[in-house]
Every structure is written in C-alpha cells, then in structure tokens.
Amino acid sequence: MTAGRCSHRGGARGPFNRLDASDSTKPQATNGDVLGRIKSLWASVQGDPALMRRLNGWLTMFWILMIPISFELAWLKSVTYVSALSL
C-alpha cells in the first residue's frame, strides 16, 4: 500500500475537502464576532450606573406589562416561560 492511495479522491487532503470551511467563498459571521460585540456592549453598560438604573427600570416596566398578556395567552402554564420570569 502506498501513502497516496486516496489521491484520486481529492488529492492530498482526501475525500473530505468539501467539508473544509476554508473553501467557502461566502463570508460567514462567526459566533465569536457576535459574542465579542455583545460582551463589549455589556461591559460598557455596566460601567455607567445611571444607564444600568435606567435599563433596569425599563426592563421592570416591560415585565409588568407582560403580566396581563401572559395571563391572557395562558403562558403562565408553561414551565419554560415561568423559568424565564425567574431569571
């Protein structure tokens, strides 16, 4: 047996070269880029106490407004929704 017995199936990289992400010509957003931007935004928000209080107030108002909506739509019976409320 020779070392290059699979050379007829795709050269030195073998038959799985179509699975290699570097062959893609389309630009792809990576999770690292998006996660990095979210972390950067969160770090800048945490550095400003007034902005944190304002954000907390708006999120509180949002959840208060969601109480009658979730009651009418029977979301309160959903374990997932109640778990999200506890966060």
The structural domains of the chain, with segments of one domain joined by +, span: 49-87
pLDDT at 27 over 60: no
Residue 61: pLDDT band (50, 70, 90) is: very high
Note if the pTM is more than 0.85. Answer: no
How far apart (Å, rounded) are the C-alpha atoms in residues 55 and 57?
5
Residues sharing a CB contact under 8 Å with residue 15, sequence separation 6 or more, in sequence order: 6, 9
Q: Are 15 and 6 in contact (CB under 8 A)?
A: yes
